[in-house]
Amino acid sequence: MTPLPAYFISSSKPDPGVFESQVLETCLLLGELGVEFRYIITEGLKTWLTGGRAVMARIGELQRDFGIPIRVLFVPSPTSRLGIRTAGRIVAHSAAAESHDQILLKGRGAIATHVALDVKRRLGVGAVLFDCRGDEAAECRMAARSMGNSRARRHWNSRGDRLEQLQQMAGRGADHVLVVSTSLGLRISQASRIPVERTTCVPCCVDPNRFDRSPTARSAIRKELGLEDRVVMVYSGSLVRYQVPDFVADLLSAIRLHLPGIFLLIVTQDVVRAEGVFAELIADGAARIVSADYGDVGRYLAAADMGILLREDDPVNRVASPVKFGEYQAAGLPVIVTPNIGDTSSYVESTGFGIVVDPSAALSEQASRVADQIREKDWLSQRQVIRQAAIRHFSRRAYLEVYRSVFVKMGLRLPEGDRLVGD
């Protein structure tokens, strides 16, 4: 049976680690349903002028590592009607050459979904899936608040207004919407005025095999880092403002007053920023920075006893599904989280696989509570329980049948052996 042809369209350059785990690995898994993706990335001409060589080098690495072709389209003003139609015309021309009677057009984000909708309009065929990873308008407004001058703030607020409009239209125009949290599904359905049934929640998932480490491997990495006798917390990822790295440092310093031997392992490629934020802890021998590539993160998580994931209470984070949470849990780690992070905080509360700290409480009170939880609970004995639950909730493969049902709802025929699913 001929595979279902599909176009994955993204409107931003591939972020290290995220594009591999949240795009390529997911699309390749969907090949088991008979879906065969072509990959299109659209970027602005400004990116081509200022960083086109770096983007193409990154694409070359991904093509080599995954053995797939990825096409990059540099278009004028990607959020404008001209930019969207330019990209749509090119993709439609490519798709038309293959003469298929059905095509899945998956747009990652609002801009890419509008490109997909334009392709569908030109071809007269295609089912559009809006892959909504977050509230892009809220992300722009968050960026605006962090800008140091009024011109930059106006730029980001204006972009936020445009993306608000594009999100609403993408939700209305798409045949179905994938969201990463139930709160994001509600936000999109209300803003786009569509039934919530036209949205399906699939959280940011991981490959649990990347985080499967034996006790022997755990002992080896702890010995290598000189942490055999320490209680180790791990902070993994970037250090952007909404991840409140300063609060992480303050909380760890306060916890040390109760547990002097506690240690913070910082796994990040943002080494310079980390050196500034965690300077005091590093100087006291209570923290260490390691720069890890995508494939090495699981090795360092194995050394830890607990993950830390703190966020601002902001519209962006209220609908988020942090990849790092799934990675921590797949490694068997309980996680310290703040409230109102998409479905993450409620998951911790319902399972008990971590600690929800109250940012409105005094820092000393929060630190005392965390220290008590660390002393009183045998977290090490729960590692396999936490990991097995993560395989059920945050493994890509766990959602394969969910994807199948979404495609069937969209009217797509999936090859399965000698019959067509959806007929």
139-to-1, 119, 183, 315, 386 alpha-carbon distances in Å: 42, 27, 16, 8, 31
Residue of 164, 144, 168, 166 lying closest to 155 (CA atoms): 144
Considering the entire predicted model, what is its pTM?
0.90
- Between strands 4-10 and 419-421, the pairing is unpaired
Tokens of 151: 């011109």
By the 8 A CB rule, do 268 and 274 touch?
yes
User: Residue 341: its pLDDT value, please?
Assistant: 95
By the 8 A CB rule, do 4 and 31 touch?
no
User: Residue 419: its pLDDT value, please?
Assistant: 40
Sequence-separated contacts (24+) of 57-60 with Cβ below 8 Å: 58/13, 58/14, 58/16, 59/14
Residue of 265, 365, 244, 262 lying closest to 310 (CA atoms): 244
Exposure string (b/e) for 253-263, b if CB count within 10 Å is 16 or more?
bbbbebbeebb
User: Residue 97: its pLDDT value, please?
Assistant: 81
Point out which residues pair with 233 in neighbouring strands. 264, 306
Instruction: Kindly report the number of other CB atoms within 10 A of residue 237's CB atom.
Output: 20
User: Residue 1: its pLDDT value, please?
Assistant: 63
Tokens of 84: 């969207």
Domains and CATH numbers, the chain: 4-205+396-413 (3.40.50.2000), 208-394 (3.40.50.2000)
User: Residue 343: its pLDDT value, please?
Assistant: 95
User: Residue 6: its pLDDT value, please?
Assistant: 95
On the CB side of 254, how many CA atoms lie within 13 Å of its CA?
16
Residue-wise pLDDT tens for the chain (423 aa)?
A: 688 999 999 988 787 777 888 899 999 999 999 999 999 999 888 888 888 888 899 999 999 999 999 999 999 888 899 999 999 999 999 888 887 789 999 999 999 999 999 999 999 999 999 999 999 999 999 999 988 899 999 999 999 999 999 999 999 999 999 999 999 999 999 999 999 999 999 999 999 998 988 889 999 999 999 999 999 999 998 888 888 999 999 999 999 999 999 999 999 989 999 999 999 999 999 999 999 887 889 999 999 999 999 998 999 999 999 999 999 999 999 999 999 999 999 999 999 999 999 888 899 999 999 999 999 888 889 999 999 999 999 999 999 999 999 999 999 999 864 344 443
pLDDT in tens, 347-394: 999 999 999 998 888 999 999 999 999 998 888 899 999 999 999 999
Q: What is the 3-state secondary structure (H, E, C) of the chain?
A: CCCEEEEEEECCCCCCCHHHHHHHHHHHHHHHHCEEEEEEEEEEHHHHHHHHHHHHHHHHHHHHHHCCCEEEEEECCCCCHHHHHHHHHHHHHHHHCCCCCCCEEEEECHHHHHHHHHHHHHHCCCEEEEEECCCHHHHHHHHHHCCCCHHHHHHHHHHHHHHHHHHHHHHHHCCEEEECCHHHHHHHHHHHCCCHHHEEECCCCECHHHHCCCHHHHHHHHHHHCCCCCCEEEEECCCCHHHCHHHHHHHHHHHHCCCCCCEEEEECCCHHHHHHHCHHHHHCCCEEEECCCHHHHHHHHCCCCEEEECCCCCHHHHCCCCHHHHHHHHCCCCEEECCCCCCHHHHHHHHCCEEECCCCCCHHHHHHHHHHHHHHCCHHHHHHHHHHHHHHHHEHHHHHHHHHHHHHHCCCCEEECCEEECC
